[in-house]
Amino acid sequence: MLRTQDLMQANVATVRPDLLVTELEQLLVQEGVSGMPVVEDGEVCGVVSRSDIVRTIAGAEGNAEAMLAYYQEVAGAVPGPTAAPHLASERIAALTVRDIMTRKVVSVDGDRSVREAAQTMISRGVHRVLVTTTGRRLLGIVTTLDLVRAIADGRMGE
C-alpha cells in the first residue's frame, strides 16, 4: 500500500498570514504553484490559492461599484470610468493572506493510504491535501498532479 508520506512533496513553499496579497501573487508565480499552506508559529493555520485571489478581486470590484452607485444615488455624484477599478485596487493592495485564506485545512496523516488522500480530495473538492502531524505541523503536501504521476509511473498498482 502506497502511503501519503511516500508520495508527498516534503519541501513545501509556505506563506505567512501577514504577507500582502500582492506579494503572494508574485510568490505563486515564482514557485510555479497555484496555492500554498499558510503557516504561523510552526503550525498550519490555512491554505491560500489563486482561486481565493480571484474571488477576492471579483468581490472588491463588485463592492466598489456598489459603493459608487450608492454615492451617485445619494449625492448625485457621477464617478469617472476608472473610479471603481481604482477603489478596488486600493482595497486589494491593503489585503493580507489572512484576509483571503481558507481556514478549514484539509489534511491527512502521513500513514494514511494514497487512496484515502485521493478520496478526501474528491469529497472535499480540493486539489491538494496537506500531510500534517496531529499538532498541525506541516510534513508535506499531496496534489492532484502527484496522484496522476503515481498512476502514470505504475506506483498505484493495477
Closest Cα partner for 50 from 93, 97, 112?
97
pLDDT band, residue 88 (cuts 50/70/90): very low
Mark residue 42 as left, alpha or beta (left: phi above 0; alpha: psi -120 to 50; beta: remaining).
left
**pLDDT of 34:** 87
Structural element, H or E, at residue 150: helix 144-152
pLDDT of residue 133 exceeding 80, the answer is yes
126 pLDDT exceeds 80?
Answer: yes
The two beta strands, 107-108 and 43-49, are: unpaired
Instruction: Produce one character per residue of 125-136: b if its CB has 16 or more CB atoms within 10 Å, e if not.
Output: ebebbbbbeeee
Q: Could you say which of 3.10.580.10, 3.90.1150.180, 1.10.3680.10, 3.90.1170.40 is the CATH number of the domain covering 4-21+33-48+102-152?
A: 3.10.580.10
pLDDT at site 76: 56
Give the pTM: 0.74
User: What CA–CA distance (Å, rounded) separates 41 from 85?
Assistant: 36
pLDDT band per the 50, 70, 90 thresholds, residue 136: confident
| pLDDT digit string, tens, across residues 28-52 | 999 998 899 999 999 999 999 888 8
pLDDT at 5 over 80: yes
From edge to edge, which strands make up the β-sheet containing 138-143?
Answer: 107-108, 128-132, 138-143
Q: Please state the rounded mean pLDDT for residues 80-85.
A: 50
pLDDT band of residue 53 (cuts 50, 70, 90) is confident
The CA–CA distances, whole Å, from 148 to 5, 50, 121 equal 16, 21, 13
Ranges 13-27, 58-72, 143-157, most confident = 13-27
Q: How many helices (H) and strands (E) does the chain have?
A: 7, 5
